[in-house]
Structure 1
Amino acid sequence: MWLNYAYYVLLFCTLTVMLAQLSFRPVRVEHILTAIFSGSLAMVALQVLTAQADSPYQYVFALGTCATCNVIWLISRALFRGAESLAIQHYALAASIALLVMTSRSLELMESVNWLTADNTGWIKGAVSEITQLLSSTILALAFWEAVRGFTQASKTSQYQRLLFAGSFFTGVFSCTVVAEGILTSDVSSQIKPWLVVSSALLITLVTFIILFWQHLSRRHISNIAQISTGTEGVAEPILAEDKKVFNQIRLLMEQEQRFLHHDLKTIDIANALQVSEYRISRAIRAMSAAANVNQFINSYRISYAKQLLTSHQSEHWTILVISMESGFASLAPFNRAFKASEGCTPNQYRQRYMSKETVTNNPVVPY
């Protein structure tokens, strides 16, 4: 009875957190991922509640429980490395775990409607369960690692956020695994573990939302500071001075060492070179430049370099592909997109315009 109330509380809180993501402006990747994570936990609550009521809908709700541990890893990575750290391989790994969970739940659904029998699906469910458990354990460890890696190089605020996340995450996972399955007896565990699961889910959800809101307020504060011309009011000055220092170091890497020519340059590479956190790199660039993110900032240097190559006589016979590669782009398509977004024309059009102007300059029309 009381356990049902606990799951109703979980359902209410997760739906509230999910809807609260709509209030963030601008909406970032971590907000979208948190909404997915909260929605999946809401499905967990609905599955348990309908199972206790012996409702057939429990199998339908179970299909939606596929975005818990895999998505919290993506959230942890985005919170403490920045959204730029998420690449296609990270989403692919999370999606593969979700697919495994949905496969297992689908088999249970087909068994419930007598489309399949346990004799036919037993070995498949067993294999899927073992693989899912292995991947889930690995992904949980990675989620915790994202919060503690680079802790000493992080700012004080980031350290507090990392401690809060890592502490709640460790508490939740430790209580549901080591305590429930390793310390307690089976009889006691069967009664206590559901409470540990629901409380851990609540704790991690609320802590994640608190950190999201905390970071949102920090970004707004930094944005307001950047608009202050003097930058000398109250506590704003040391934060702005810190951003200026990091930003000047980033500019040295770009302008003197020309790191932007490395096509695989990422935020973590800049952070490692300067011995600071990725969050501080992203924060400094957003606060001190017109770029919306690190990738856009790096591309601005690449495009400037490409414009020099497009108008140089030494590279006038180079193809656009060669110029894109020489400027630090990994392939031609991203180069064309970034160049057109910056200059309003394609690289080839930019070169032709320059050549037309040079022809007119070198061969002026002589009036009679």
Structure 2
Amino acid sequence: MEIGHSFFRNFRGSAFMGSILQLGISPRNPNPAKVDPSVVYGAVFMCASLAFCLKSLLAIQLGATIDFFAIIGNATCGWSWLATRSLFRREVGPHSLWPLGAVLLVMASSAVTSFVPVDDVPLRILDNLARLGSSAMLLLAIAEPLLDLRAQGDKTERQFRILYAAGYVAILGVAVLAVDGAPRDSLASQLSIPIKAICAIAAVFGYGWALSHRRQHPLECATARPKRKAVAPDLQLGEQLVSLMRENHLYVEADLRVADLARLTGEPEYKVTQCITGMLGFPNFNQMVNSYRIAEAKHRLIDPALAHLPILTIALDCGFGSIGPFNRAFKTDTGMTPQEYRRR
């Protein structure tokens, strides 16, 4: 037991532990009252890893307290996921609390099955759910840095995310795949406990490096992106769009997109969209295009020269991709089906 106390004192007093605590003040928010969640979850992850190491290496010396250390250590997977998630996301509001609830639920399930014999079916189900939850959180921790990888314009940020995920996979591969899958008489199987403890310590120090990097390269908050300025009504652009619809009959193209109008007018897509929803008064691009298509369809449905054409042909000729969307859009506009409109 004294060995465990000595190890804990040395670990707590290390320079690494001090750097972790100093990082609690976010570089973007020097107010100590507002702690960075990546530091909070990182500290809890570190404590859970320490409990796992003590439980694994000093099981006999811990005596009756081993169950306590086991419960804390079994939650390492969950806290690792939360710590990783906080490094690569900046969430605010109630929706950011559900991951914490999931980890606490898995931790509580593990606690119940640790103190109560898993004999009944409900308890076996609970134990299996706790194990599956822990495994899922390990995989989620690998996925977190890669989810928005393509959206990252900064090369350093992309490299950081790839390196973090690769290091996590390497540690997980050694601790779980190589050791747990090793034959019983192999050296890896005999040294499984110290190898897993070393992997846990390596994961903690790896997270400390990642946290230090994040402090130097803060993650931009999605809500902090500058909003695009609203543009003044462009009469010339509005006339161009109306001309393209009425005279060039662009609406008959089933795959017409805002990008096509932007290319023809030489204006940015957002400006074309703002003109459609602002000056021209349509709810969106599709509503504008469908209004011209419906107007053309009305004209063709009442033209005696086109009475022999099926309604599907008219719908396709007006730019609709199929009869279903045409019928729905037509009835929304006129209150009757194309067939009823043609008869009347």
TM bin, normalised by shorter chain, reads 0.5 to 0.7
Which residue of the partner structure matches residue 232 of structure 1? none
Match of 2:86 among 60, 70, 78: 78
Give 2:135's aligned amino acid: S
1:15–1:39 CA contact under 8 A, matched in 2: no
**Structure 1: gaps spanning 5 or more residues:** 108-117, 223-242, 257-368
Distance between the aligned counterparts of 1:53 and 1:143, measured in 2? 32
Match of 1:143 in 2: 141
Q: Cα distance, 1:31 vs. partner? A: 0.4
Contact 2:48 2:76 in 1 (8 A): yes
Alpha carbon RMSD of aligned pairs, Å?
3.5
Whole-angstrom CA distance in 2 between matches of 1:248 and 1:83: 12
CA distance in 2, matches of 1:38, 1:54: 19
What is the CA deviation profile of residues 332-353 of structure 1, one whole-angstrom value per residue up to 9, with x for unaligned ones?
Answer: xxxxxxxxxxxxxxxxxxxxxx
Tell me which amino acid in the other structure corresponds to 2:140. L
Contact map agreement 1:11 1:42 (CA 8 A) in 2: no
* 1:6 CA drift (Å): 11
How far apart are the structure 2 equivalents of 1:159 and 1:6? 39
- Partner deviation per Cα, 1:132-178 (whole Å, 9 max, x = no partner): 12111111111101111222332222123212321221011112222
TM-score norm. by structure 2 comes to 0.54
In structure 1, the partner of 2:115 is: 106
Show the 5 A alignment for 1:118-157: 118=117, 121=119, 126-154=124-152, 155-157=154-156
Q: Could you tell me how far 1:201 is from its partner in structure 2? A: 0.9
Asked if structure 2 preserves the Cα contact closer than 8 Å seen for 1:10 and 1:45, the reply is no
The reply on whether 1:57 has 2:73 as its aligned counterpart is no
% identity of equivalent residues: 17
Assess if the C-alpha contact under 8 Å between 2:80 and 2:141 holds in 1. Answer: yes
**2:72 alignment partner, SS class:** coil
In the aligned structure 2, how far is the partner of 1:176 from the partner of 1:81? Answer: 26
Instruction: Using the TM superposition, give the Cα deviation of residue 30 of structure 1 relative to its aligned residue in structure 2, in angstroms.
Output: 0.6
Distance 2:143 2:217 in 1: 23
The 1:177–1:10 alpha-carbon spacing in structure 2 relative to 1, beyond 3 Å, is farther
Structure 2: give runs of 5+ residues left out of the alignment.
Answer: 27-34, 232-344
What does the per-residue CA deviation read over 1:227-266, in whole Å, with 9 as the maximum and x for residues that have no partner?
xxxxxxxxxxxxxxxx9xx9997320x756xxxxxxxxxx
User: What one-letter code is carried by the residue in structure 2 that aligns with 1:251?
Assistant: K
Is the 2:49–2:73 contact (alpha carbons within 8 Å) kept by the matching residues of 1?
A: yes
- 1:29·1:78 contact (CA, 8 Å) conserved in 2? yes
Q: In 2 relative to 1, CA 34–194 (structure 1 residues): closer, same or farther, beyond 3 Å?
A: same
Distance 1:41 1:54, change over 3 A: closer
Question: Offset of 1:54 from its aligned partner?
Answer: 6.2
What CA distance in whole angstroms lies between the structure 1 residues aligned with 2:49 and 2:128? 22
Q: TM-score, normalization: structure 1?
A: 0.51
Name the aligned partner's letter for residue 100 of structure 2.
Y
1:121, 1:15 → 2: CA distance? 43
Give the 3-state SS of the residue equivalent to 2:191 in structure 1.
Answer: helix
Residue in 2 that maps onto 1:90: 99
Q: Residues 82 and 31 from structure 1, CA distance in 2 versus in 1: closer, same or farther, beyond 3 angstroms?
A: same
Q: Distance in 2 between matches of 1:196 and 1:81?
A: 31
Q: In the TM superposition, what is the alpha-carbon distance from 1:78 to its structure 2 partner? A: 1.4
Q: Does 1:217 align with 2:216?
A: yes
Of the three residues 37, 43, 48, the one matched with 1:35 is 43
Larger radius of gyration: 2
State the match for 1:330 in structure 2. none
Q: Aligned pair count?
A: 216
Q: Which amino acid aligns with 2:60?
A: Q
Instruction: Tell me the residue number matched to 1:194.
Output: 193
Residues 92-112 of structure 1: CA deviation (Å, up to 9, x unaligned):
1121111112222333xxxxx
Q: Is the 8 A contact 2:180 2:189 kept in 1?
A: no
Letter in 1 for 2:138: L
